Amino acid sequence: MRLRKVPCDEEFRLRPDQLGKLSDAAAIVATVGTTAATSVDPVAAIAERCERDGVWLHVDAAYAGAAMVCPEHRWAFEGVERADSLVVNAHKWMLTPVDCSLLWTARPEAFRAAFSVVPEYLRTPDAEDALSLSEYGPALGRRFRSLKLWAVLRCHGRSGLQAHIRNGVELAARFEEWVAAEPGWEVCAPRPFSVVCFRLEGDDERNRALLNRVNRAGEIFISGALLGGRFVLRLAVGQIRTREEDVRLAWDVLRRESSGL
């Protein structure tokens, strides 16, 4: 299959008007919570194009899908019910150990047609009535991943997960405010969830040097990404025990290590 990349807008969201002709397209991937900037693609508008042209729509909500547990964040998922498939990784922001990925599909028969191979040694008397996951993906055997997620849901419940998500978003918003108010620093992308993209004023090498200095110090760990051709730093809040003093420490370390750069 040939990959075709679609231009983004100034907020790093896929532009539906740039999809072009879809006559030869097999699938479009829209993202709710992109990896670098956690941007939210306009899924409803993309779904409209897919439905009109008969193209499979897959929605990648690997990180941000956990935020659907909070009513105030469901704006980001408008249109996902129109997708042919949707993925959320519970191991990213839902307190579940690696790996546990959740798949929903409105077209299970298409998955079964693509993956189902049932030789005689896999046939059983009740095979027609049983759900065999081997018929919905490439793996024949698999671990009991859902048990981990069941334990999280059993221990924390909806209210516990909501508190966890809200805490991460609130702490990221606080960090974003500190960066925006500090001379010589800038916020580089909208922050819909718990990841802040920011940078020190100056060239990419200065920011790469800061990333290396901060991570070598060992008090906090951050990552970087390229947004709009510029190297930016990323602070992600996702641990259930993270508190404001931890985020304040991160900001103090960043300012300290930036001196002299």
pLDDT confidence band for 126 (50 / 70 / 90): low
pLDDT, position 128:
63
Please compute the mean of the pLDDT values over residues 226-253 and round it to a whole number: 97
Q: How much is the average pLDDT of 166-183?
A: 98
Judged against a pLDDT cut of 80, whether residue 120 lies above it is answered with no
Q: In the CATH hierarchy, which fold is given to the domain comprising 16-148?
A: Aspartate Aminotransferase; domain 2 (3.40.640)
With bands split at pLDDT 50, 70 and 90, how would you rate the model's confidence at 219?
Answer: very high
Q: What would the pLDDT profile of 152-173 be if each residue is shown by its tens digit? A: 999 999 999 999 999 999 999 9
| Residue 140 or 87, more confident | 87
pLDDT at 127: 59
Check whether 106 has a pLDDT greater than 90: yes
Q: Which two tokens stand for residue 20?
A: 């072009």
Angle between helices 244-258 and 146-181 (to 10 degrees): 50
User: What is the token pair recorded at 108?
Assistant: 């299970």
Q: What is the mean pLDDT of residues 176-194?
A: 97
Beta strands in 1-141 (DSSP E): 27-31, 56-60, 85-89, 101-105
Tell me the C-alpha distance between 152 and 40, whole Å.
Answer: 26
Domain positions in the chain are 16-148, 157-258
Angle (CA) 197 201 205, round 5°: 85
Would you give the distance in Å from CA 161 to the centre of its chain? 17
Q: Is the pLDDT of residue 133 over 90?
A: no
Instruction: Determine the length of the chain.
Output: 261
What was the pLDDT predicted at 132? Answer: 80
pLDDT the model gives residue 197: 98
Give the Cβ contact number of residue 170 at 10 Å: 14
pLDDT digits (tens, 9 = 90+) for 17-48: 999 999 999 999 999 999 999 999 999 999 99
Query: So what's the pLDDT on residue 215?
Result: 97
Which pLDDT score, from 0 to 100, does residue 129 have? 66
- The answer to whether the bond into 99 is cis (omega within 30° of 0) is yes
Name the CATH code of domain 157-258 (choices 3.40.50.620, 2.170.150.20, 1.20.120.140, 3.90.1150.10): 3.90.1150.10
